[in-house]
Amino acid sequence: MREEMLTIGAFSKACRLSPKALRLYDELELLKPRRVDPDTGYRYYAVDQLERARLVAWLRRLGMPLARIRQVCALPAADAAHAIHAYWAQVEAETAVRRDLAVFLVDQLVAAPRKDTTMLELRYAAHSDRGRTRPANQDTAYAGNRLLAVADGYGPAGVPASSAAVEALRFLDTAELPAGDVLNLLEEAVRGATEAVRDAVDGADDAGTTLTALLWTGSRLALVHIGDCRAYLLRDGALFRVTEDHTVVQSLIDEGRLTPEEATTHPQRSLLLKSLSPTTPPDLRLRDAEPGDRYLLCSDGLSTVVPDARIRHLLTSTPSPDTAVHALIDAANEAGGPDNVSCVVADVVEAAA
Chain positions contacting Mg ion, by CB under 5 A: 152, 299-301, 339
Smallest separation, CB 210 to Mg ion (Å): 8
User: Which CB, 123 or 127, lies closer to Mg ion?
Assistant: 127
Nearer to Mg ion by Cβ, of 300 and 347: the residue is: 300
- Selection from 128, 124, 196 nearest residue 160 by Cα: 196
Closest CA to 187 of 299, 110, 104, 112: 104
Which run of H or E residues covers position 143? strand 139-143
Select 133 or 280, whichever has its Cβ closest to Mg ion: 133
| 3-state secondary structure (DSSP) of residue 161 | helix
Q: Which residue stretches of the chain are H helix?
A: 8-15, 19-27, 50-62, 66-73, 77-109, 158-169, 182-201, 248-254, 260-263, 300-303, 308-317, 321-334
Query: What's the closest the beta carbon of residue 81 comes to Mg ion, in angstroms?
Result: 35
Q: Long-range pairs for 183-188 at CB < 8 Å and ≥24 separation?
A: 183/104, 183/105, 183/108, 183/222, 183/284, 185/215, 186/215, 186/222, 186/224, 186/284
Tell me which H or E stretch contains 341: strand 341-350
Rounded to a whole number of angstroms, the minimum distance from the CB of residue 218 to Mg ion is: 32
C-alpha distance across the termini of the chain, in Å = 94
**Between residues 155 and 192, which has the closer beta carbon with respect to Mg ion?**
155
Min separation Cβ 153 and Mg ion, Å: 9
Q: Which is nearer to Mg ion, 49 or 212 (CB)?
A: 212
Which H or E element spans position 213? strand 211-216
Smallest distance, Mg ion to C-beta of residue 301, A = 5
Provide, rounded to whole angstroms, the least separation between the CB of residue 232 and Mg ion.
16
- Residue 318, beta-bridge partner list: none
Residue whose CB is less far from Mg ion, 101 or 273: 273
Residues 145/173, Cβ–Cβ less than 8 Å: yes
Q: Smallest distance, Å, CB 158 to Mg ion?
A: 9
The minimum distance between CB 136 and Mg ion, in angstroms, equals 12
- Tell the smallest beta-carbon distance from residue 275 to Mg ion (Å): 12
Q: Please answer whether residues 121 and 313 qualify as being in contact, where contact means their C-beta atoms are separated by less than 8 angstroms.
A: no
Beta carbon nearer to Mg ion, 230 or 285:
230
Give every CB contact of residue 75 below 8 A, 6+ residues apart in sequence.
Answer: 83
Nearer to Mg ion, 108 or 340 (CB): 340
**Cβ closest to Mg ion, residue 12 vs residue 299:** 299
Residue by residue, DSSP assigns 171-199 as: GGGTS---TT-HHHHHHHHHHHHHHHHHH
CA separation for the pair 216, 119 (Å, rounded): 13
